[in-house]
Amino acid sequence: MTAPNFGEQGGRLTYGTYLRIAELLEQQVPESDPAAHDELLFITIHQVYELWFKLLLSELTDARDRMLAGESYLPRVRLERCRSIERVLVGQVDVIDTMTPQDFLAFRNKLAPASGFQSNQFREIEFLSGLKDPSYLRRFRGLSEAEQARLRRRLDEPSLWDAFLAVLVKAGFAVETAEQRFEAYAVIARDRERYGQLWDLAEALVDHDQAWSLWRARHVLMAERQIGTKPGTGGSAGGAYLRSRVETRFYPELWELRSRL
């Protein structure tokens, strides 16, 4: 087989056409007129978040599917990639913090009733991770039919937690009751020579859980720095609502395990 000549093939596909750069750069459209200077920053940051969310959903779904099939190695690899992405999510807030409250107020009134509360992919990640909240579909009426269908599918399908328990069952552990599960966790934790891959997988889930919590906490501080105690543009309680979510956990049993060891 002849090796490809990238110099010749480059004429068929360019960087711009492969990545659809022209179409991508047309998506940042300010609502203010004349455009407030920092609105481009605001739009860009949130669109980038949605791109990372798309990749996270791909990685987390693959990790879930592989665990359901009984795998423990590649799911951990996928979760480690997610942890790296989530560090970027937290770091990106520093860019938003360069925007002053006065500069945000120059275009904030144009956002209502749009809000980060409405991010469908964010909710998909929470549902897939194990934090399923059917009431979200009832409380928020601005979802398109396609968005509602995706969220309903995430509610109905197995979560990462369900998949992790499937891995434990394959390894011979009983998981029907909480006490059975805690007995399994204790055995795994105390015999890492034998169950190292299961322990590492559990820790990768905790890493994902912790990273999401850190992102929530960083998001709270950002929101309070920008709008103080004002309500959110989507009608939520703003910082108070975000702060109420900081202590939420995807895998409370893996956190409680620390107290039982």
Burial class (CB in 10 A: 0-12, 13-18, 19+), 172: exposed
Q: Both tokens of residue 159? A: 């979560």
- Coil, strand or helix: which one is 235? coil
User: Is 44 annotated as ligand-binding?
Assistant: yes
User: Is 208 annotated as ligand-binding?
Assistant: no
Distance CA 86, CA 126 (A): 13
User: Is 181 annotated as ligand-binding?
Assistant: no
**41 near 96, Cβ under 8 Å?**
yes
Distance CA 118, CA 81 (A): 25
User: Is 96 annotated as ligand-binding?
Assistant: no
- Coil, strand or helix: which one is 3? coil
User: Is 188 annotated as ligand-binding?
Assistant: no
With both helix axes pointing from N to C terminus, report the angle between 73-96 and 39-68 in degrees, rounded to the nearest 10: 170
Enumerate the known binding-site residues for heme: 219
Enumerate the known binding-site residues for substrate: 42-46, 108, 233
Enumerate the known binding-site residues: 42-46, 108, 219, 233
